[in-house]
């Protein structure tokens, strides 16, 4: 079974309030077996446009990635993030060779 991933690009407008989102999302990520592969860090934009923060989160399956996003726990965390950031997020199925 292919893993699932969240790929997010975020511009944070209020870091203090955004950290409330980071704290709140931990429970959902734990419940759905999420593992951060990329969380911030140095990067270069070689093509197209970028945002100031990038994240890649791995889940045990594509369905787990979708279920985490739709969960009430994550939706409550997302409500904290939305007023203080701009986010592009995709949920994508990994390549299962």
pLDDT band at 2 (very low <50, low <70, confident <90, very high): very high
Query: What does the pLDDT look like over 36-74, one tens digit per residue?
Result: 999 989 999 999 999 999 999 999 999 999 999 999 999
Residue range(s) defining the domain that contains residue 43: 4-93
pTM of this structure: 0.93
Confirm if 52 and 12 have CB atoms less than 8 A apart.
yes
Distance CA 58, CA 5 (A): 5
Instruction: Provide the domain count of the chain.
Output: 1
Distance CA 46, CA 58 (A): 24
In 1-97, DSSP assigns E strands to 4-12, 35-39, 53-59, 85-93
Would you say the C-alpha torsion 61, 6, 43, 24 has a positive or negative sign? negative
CATH number at residue 88: 3.30.70.100
């Amino acid at each position: 079974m292919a893993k699932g991933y969240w790929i997010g690009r975020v511009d944070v407008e209020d870091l203090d309030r955004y950290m409330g989102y980071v704290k709140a999302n931990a429970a959902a990520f734990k419940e759905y077996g999420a593992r951060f592969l990329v969380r911030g860090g140095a990067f270069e934009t070689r093509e197209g446009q970028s945002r100031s923060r990038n994240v890649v989160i791995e889940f045990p399956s594509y369905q787990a990635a979708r279920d985490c996003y739709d969960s009430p726990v994550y939706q409550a965390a997302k409500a904290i993030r939305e007023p203080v950031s701009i986010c592009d997020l995709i949920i994508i199925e990994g390549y299962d060779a």
